[in-house]
Amino acid sequence: MTDENNKERIIDGTDKEGNAIKTLLRQPTPQDYRDSQVQYNEAFRKALDSGALLRQKLTDYMREQGIWDEEKQKENDRFIEDIGAREEALKAGGIRLTDAKVVALELRDLRADFRNLLAEKNALDTNSAEGQADNARFSELVRLCIIDPDTRQPRFPDQQAYDAQGDEPWVVEAASELASMIYGLDPDYDKNLEENKFLKEFNFVDDKLRFVNDDGHLVDMEGRLINEDGRFVAYRTEEGKEKQDPEQLYFVDRGGEEVVLVTGDDGEEEWVKISLKDRKPFLDDKNKPIEAPVKAENSEEESVEESVEEDTSSEKPVSAKKRKTTKTTN
């Protein structure tokens, strides 16, 4: 929820245990920016002292290490060109709808591959002196702007307290919201991509950009029915399919054969074809069932115990009459 001036937002989040956490996120003040700049300067100096590279030297380093060479740069340029060409095709129209869908799906894949290509480069940038300093500055802004709704004081008294809970879901959500507020990030960025606008316009995806069929049922990219968790499903009857009756649903594998969840002897759960749930016995040469041999428990221990008993019983006791007593005389 956002106030009229867009300076404060209520974050209704949860912690790792699922407990509800309500917090207030406010827009940074000029003093907040000054305080965060102090953190930037300290982090930048520490990074340089520890040997971190400056961004301007990062390109040379990546080239020397083969992380981002000329081939990677050419691949980068090809992605940009291919993505741009497909965006223009969707904007222009004039092609068959089925062909346009193929273009949109190709565009999705291209963006994913492009992100993967840039991931390693971006990771190194984060470790540069400026990258570490940027992270320190933003963390301080998040700490200062996450407010207790009742006291209107920062929830985290210092950076150490923030770092201790920085991976909590509600803190991550607040940090994401703050990034949108101060950097102008578009929360609907994915929805506004050309491929997703096209897919949504012609009802190939739902509001969450998940693929659906003509009946509005969730499907994978190849049109196979799936549930909310992404598992393949089917309906027992056509009527159940038309009504999307959850009582008619059952799980299937990629080939459409029914599967069930079974628990093995080791306690591990596994999805198996229902035809393989109960294994049939193997047959002998006369086609008669063969029972699997049953191992006797503790057979080795029993054989050891028996051996020990035999060794013990084979020892002859010394007769009291034959024992000699040595008498010591002074």
Q: Are residues 121 and 241 in the same domain?
A: no
Do 52 and 179 belong to one domain? yes
**pLDDT at position 48:** 95
Same-domain status, 153 and 55 = yes
Residues 246 and 287 in one domain: yes
pLDDT digits (tens, 9 = 90+) for 48-70: 999 999 998 988 888 888 888 88
Whether the per-residue pLDDT at 327 is higher than 50: the answer is: no
pTM exceeding the 0.75 threshold for the entire prediction: no
Question: Does 316 reside within a domain?
Answer: no
Domain membership of residue 286 as a residue range: 210-303
**Is the residue at 197 inside a domain?**
no
Task: Band the pLDDT of 319: cuts 50, 70, 90.
Answer: very low
pLDDT tier at 116, thresholds 50, 70, 90: very high
Q: What is the predicted pLDDT for the residue at 328?
A: 42
- What integer is the mean pLDDT of 155-175? 93
Which of 142, 167, 183 is the last residue in one of the domains?
183
- Is residue 323, in this structure, part of any structural domain at all? no
**Mapped to the 3 state alphabet, what secondary structure does the chain carry?**
CECCCCCEEEEEEECCCCCEEEEEEECCCHHHHHHHHHHHHHHHHHHHHCCCCCHHHHHHHHHHCCCCCHHHHHHHHHHHHHHHHHHHHHHHCCCCHHHHHHHHHHHHHHHHHHHHHHHHHHHHHHCCHHHHHHHHHHHHHHHHHEECCCCCCECCCCHHHHHHHCCCHHHHHHHHHHHHHHHCCCCCCCCCCHHHHHHHHCCCECCCCCEECCCCCEECCCCCEECCCCCEEEECCHHHHHHCCHHHEEEECCCCCEEEEEECCCCCEEEEEHHHCCCCCCECCCCCECCCCCCCCCHHHHHHHHHHHHHHHHCCCCCCCCCCCCCCCC
Domain count, the chain: 2
Confidence of residue 307 (pLDDT cuts 50, 70, 90): low
